[in-house]
Chain A
């Protein structure tokens, strides 16, 4: 349980920095809202159409916003060899991964807590009656996104052109998460008469479990110097 305690220390440190500066959160929320706006402009003011594709728009917005925040995952450690320092602490370096992963999930969920109601207003969706299943989908999707994202962010942290490399590696890997989250969200918001949501939830859970194991397992290799 030492690993979890160390991970929590990293979560606490990052959230404290974020709570005091709010540099990521404000920018992320604003950026995500703008993405939804741009989509509405691109697709036209057809409410019926927007309502039908809202699930997709929402998750594309989350993906774009998430990539922005992921590329800053290790930013607070970048100066003065902070990551080096973290690595030199005794104990398993996997706790760094777990801590950064929890931190990313929490930050992204906070953004989604603003983004979902905003989408509900913009696209005239009745989200409140479906709050419980939507929360579950958002949780599973965000965890899957962050598992791969936090890992690849560590891999590309020392890379030149990492702003290009991170999405290039991340987006193809995220296809199952996106398909699962988008389809589940759409089924919830537009009505799931046939009970089709089950396979998507199972896909999200399977993806999360499989890649959590793989990424935690090989994270020390990604962080080696």
Chain B
């Protein structure tokens, strides 16, 4: 246990340091975007949170499949932890995107394909967490959640495709602009920092989930 919490602490501190470094570079060192100004700096947190949301839900999918094959509660705990963190990051992505959209597009919300898909993604995984909350039996909870985790993830590309069609049949999509190397490097640094944060949160959350599982078992046993 000692070495395990040692790793956890190490990852935690590294995450904190890289987040601090990434924030300083993103806010102070890199020059502001010529066209958009300081608003563009939101990208350094918006893109990492979006990437982590996707990574978290991918892990939910993999762990759900693994759970259904092996029926090991460990995989369920990892899936549940990842889903929880993923929902937080998805909500952050939406909030940051709206903050960026208001000065850039002039509106908080628009039916942009990616924005819309992210909102639907949030709804899918809130459903995942909700069904966990309503189930009392740990085995059933894990099984039901795994099924929702699989169907939900399989739906993501189809949802995205359908929303893209829905929008592009009316308006042409905006073309991606070329990105300068220093912006790219700052983005990479922040991506690494946020991934470390995710790793740290996952370690904490799965440990907590294991303790919760033990407690649940003890309560069930002793009544």
In the complex, the answer to whether A215 meets B151 with C-beta atoms within 8 Å is yes
Contacts of B146 in A (CB 8 A): 221
In the complex, the answer to whether B134 meets A179 with C-beta atoms within 8 Å is no
A-B contact count (CB 8 A): 84
Q: How far is the CB of B90 from chain A (nearest CB, A)?
A: 12
Cβ of B201 within 8 Å of any chain A Cβ, yes or no, is: no
Contacts of A169 in B (CB 8 A): 127, 131, 148
Type the 1/0 row for A170-211, where 1 means its CB is closer than 8 Å to any CB of B: 011101100110010000000000001001100100110011
B side interface size, CB within 8 A: 29
In the complex, the answer to whether B151 meets A148 with C-beta atoms within 8 Å is yes
Contacts of B215 in A (CB 8 A): none
In the complex, the answer to whether B155 meets A176 with C-beta atoms within 8 Å is yes
Decide yes or no: A165 and B134 within 8 Å by CB, A176-B155, A207-B158, A210-B154 being known contacts: yes
In the complex, the answer to whether B165 meets A199 with C-beta atoms within 8 Å is yes
In the complex, the answer to whether A176 meets B143 with C-beta atoms within 8 Å is no
In-complex Cβ contact of A165 among B130, B143, B155 (8 A): B130
Nearest B residue (CB) for A155: B144
In the complex, the answer to whether A203 meets B148 with C-beta atoms within 8 Å is no
Q: How far is the CB of A185 from chain B (nearest CB, A)?
A: 14
Cβ of B110 within 8 Å of any chain A Cβ, yes or no, is: no
In the complex, the answer to whether A159 meets B165 with C-beta atoms within 8 Å is no
Q: What does DSSP make chain A's interface, helix, strand, loop or mixed?
A: helix
Decide yes or no: A179 and B127 within 8 Å by CB, A155-B144, A221-B68, A222-B147 being known contacts: no
Cα–Cα distance between A224 and B135 once the two chains are bound (Å): 14
Decide yes or no: A168 and B127 within 8 Å by CB, A155-B148, A159-B134, A176-B155 being known contacts: yes
Decide yes or no: A172 and B148 within 8 Å by CB, A199-B165, A203-B162, A210-B154 being known contacts: no
Cβ of B203 within 8 Å of any chain A Cβ, yes or no, is: no
In the complex, the answer to whether B151 meets A203 with C-beta atoms within 8 Å is no
In the complex, the answer to whether A179 meets B144 with C-beta atoms within 8 Å is no
Interface residues of A toward B: which range?
20 to 34
Nearest A residue (CB) for B122: A172
Contacts of B123 in A (CB 8 A): 168, 171-172
In the complex, the answer to whether A218 meets B161 with C-beta atoms within 8 Å is no
Cβ of A160 within 8 Å of any chain B Cβ, yes or no, is: yes
Decide yes or no: A173 and B151 within 8 Å by CB, A199-B165, A203-B162 being known contacts: yes
In the complex, the answer to whether A168 meets B161 with C-beta atoms within 8 Å is no
Type the 1/0 row for B110-136, where 1 means its CB is closer than 8 Å to any CB of A: 000000000010011011001100110
Cβ of A161 within 8 Å of any chain B Cβ, yes or no, is: yes
Contacts of A175 in B (CB 8 A): 120, 159, 162-163
In the complex, the answer to whether A176 meets B151 with C-beta atoms within 8 Å is no
In the complex, the answer to whether B134 meets A224 with C-beta atoms within 8 Å is no
Cβ of B150 within 8 Å of any chain A Cβ, yes or no, is: yes
Cα–Cα distance between A207 and B156 once the two chains are bound (Å): 12
Contacts of B12 in A (CB 8 A): none
Contacts of B35 in A (CB 8 A): none
In-complex Cβ contact of B124 among A158, A165, A172, A203 (8 A): A172
* Closest A-B pairs by Cβ, 7 of them: A172-B123, A176-B162, A169-B127, A172-B124, A179-B162, A168-B127, A176-B158
Other than the given A159-B135, A172-B152, A173-B152, 15 more pairs (CB < 8 A) read: A155-B148, A159-B144, A168-B130, A169-B131, A171-B123, A172-B127, A172-B159, A175-B120, A175-B162, A175-B163, A176-B155, A176-B161, A199-B165, A203-B161, A221-B143
